[in-house]
Structure 1
Amino acid sequence: MSDAGPAGYEFGDNIPVEPIEAGTTVFVAGPALSPSEDLARAMVAHGTGFGEGSLFISTNMTCKKLLQSCQRNDPAIDPTQMGIIDCSGQDIGKAELSAEVKYVSTQSDLTGIGMKFSALYESLYPAVAEGRVRTGLISLSSLSMYVDLRTLFQFSQTLAGRIDSADGLGVFAIDPTTHDTKTVNTLSQAADGRIEVRDAEESDADGELRIRGLTDQPDDWQPFRLSG
């Protein structure tokens, strides 16, 4: 993480996460049927409400479906401050969206994803408040089906390093139930902390979270809601 003092990234009252220091990358971890990926998308898209940029690497949703998912939870997000790398391989028609979209034909092309990421980040950086950009990689588990562990770790580490150097925020979704312990522990070395997600016990909450590895954060289970 960066040593100097830009303000932390905020998430609003419905998500019980204290501001996260600029330059940080966190994993959002939960099984496929939990609200973990929805939370990861919300944490990134919420940035447009602060005048920040939101950059998504979408491996398992088309750009159109990802944007619709974000807008369902927060209709006020500003797509003009968003960039999406669609590497789902599904969006044959090349959707016309307000967000800036770049396409990578296969999830195995990490070099191509990295190049598109750099181009989108450079495009968003001067156009948003103080160059603040949130990056969502959704998901690492999807990428792991196409590349080996060492390659995926190197990619994650490189991406986190770029986010750190630009004082951004990284939110990487992972489904730990699809990996063995060694894989999860190895990939986790690319992040500064982890937000664990499970289904909610309260009927009016979308899920519950707790945080590991970050200071001044709730370490017991807290309910969260994805919409106001």
Structure 2
Amino acid sequence: MPSASVALDPDALAPGTNVLLSGPVMTGKQRVLLRLLAGGDPTDRGTVVATTRTSADAVSRTFEAIAGEVPDDLFAVVDCTGTIAESRVRKTANRRFLSNPGDLTGVGIGLTEFMRRFYHRGDEARVGVHSLSTMLMYTEFRRLFQFLHAVTGRIDSSGFVGAFAVDSSALEPRELNILLQLFDSVVETRDGDESVEYRVRGADAGTLGPGSWTSF
């Protein structure tokens, strides 16, 4: 039986931490990811999001609803939804647009560019990717693992915080176990009897959130 509702504590994530959010579709992983990215003071540090399903503008609005108003130069988005074909806009100061989520090289370049900007300014930053599942529709698992190995390594070495979401049904159990090697903790989500439930496994269980299934 799940315990009573307990809130996640994004402030519990230490610099250099990478977290994986894993669960079925429609269990609120994007909003949980943005809540993790909103930890600390997002008006005093950088936030970078790579989005494969939701436009840059929509992600910005959702993040602002969670974190409050954030200065434009502190919130950057790598939009991989393919809307570039419609907008013909390749980039702005805080936006990068890619033709599809399978362009892992482009995603990596965009994330690294923004991370370097914040790092060289002496800012802390949080970095999120939603969703790895969409990327897997365009590329093979081996390439995705190599991409994640590079990005999580940069987050760790920069002292940033990373959060990555995946639909658990998109991976074989063996693949999920391989991915988990790259992360300090995993936040699992599922449909409960009355609401969505979650639990935390790994180094941050008990600080980031409970280790047993709990209602949001």
For this structure pair, what is the TM-score category when the shorter chain's length is used for normalisation? 0.7 to 0.9
Query: Does 2:99 match 1:102?
Result: no
Query: Does 2:197 match 1:208?
Result: yes
- Counterpart of 1:151? 143
Per-residue CA deviation, residues 137-158 of structure 1 (Å, 9 max, x unaligned), is 1111111111111110011111
- Counterpart of 1:7? none
SS at match of 1:198: strand
The answer as to whether partners of 1:83 and 1:124 remain within 8 angstroms in 2 is no
Aligned pairs for 1:48-197 (under 5 A) are: 48-49=41-42, 51-91=44-84, 92-93=86-87, 100-127=94-121, 130-197=122-189
Cα pair distance change 1:17/1:116, threshold 3 Å:
closer
Percent sequence identity over aligned pairs: 28
Cα pair distance change 1:100/1:47, threshold 3 Å:
farther
- TM-score of the superposed pair, with normalisation by structure 1: 0.79
The answer as to whether partners of 1:135 and 1:171 remain within 8 angstroms in 2 is yes
- Of the two structures, which has the highest relative contact order with CA contacts closer than 8 Å and spacing of 6 or more? 2
The answer as to whether partners of 1:46 and 1:77 remain within 8 angstroms in 2 is no
* Cα drift, residue 23 of structure 1: 0.7
Q: Which runs of 5+ in 1 are unaligned?
A: 1-12
* Cα drift, residue 107 of structure 1: 1.7
SS at match of 1:49: coil
- Counterpart of 1:3? none
Cα pair distance change 1:75/1:200, threshold 3 Å:
farther
Q: Which amino acid aligns with 2:57?
A: K
Q: Which runs of 5+ in 2 are unaligned?
A: 1-5
* Cα drift, residue 85 of structure 1: 0.5
CA RMSD of aligned residues (A): 2.6
The answer as to whether partners of 1:83 and 1:120 remain within 8 angstroms in 2 is yes
Partner Cα separation in structure 2 for residue 118 and residue 168 of structure 1:
12
- TM-score of the superposed pair, with normalisation by structure 2: 0.83
* Cα drift, residue 187 of structure 1: 1.8
SS at match of 1:26: strand
> Aligned pair count?
206
Q: Which amino acid aligns with 2:108?
A: G
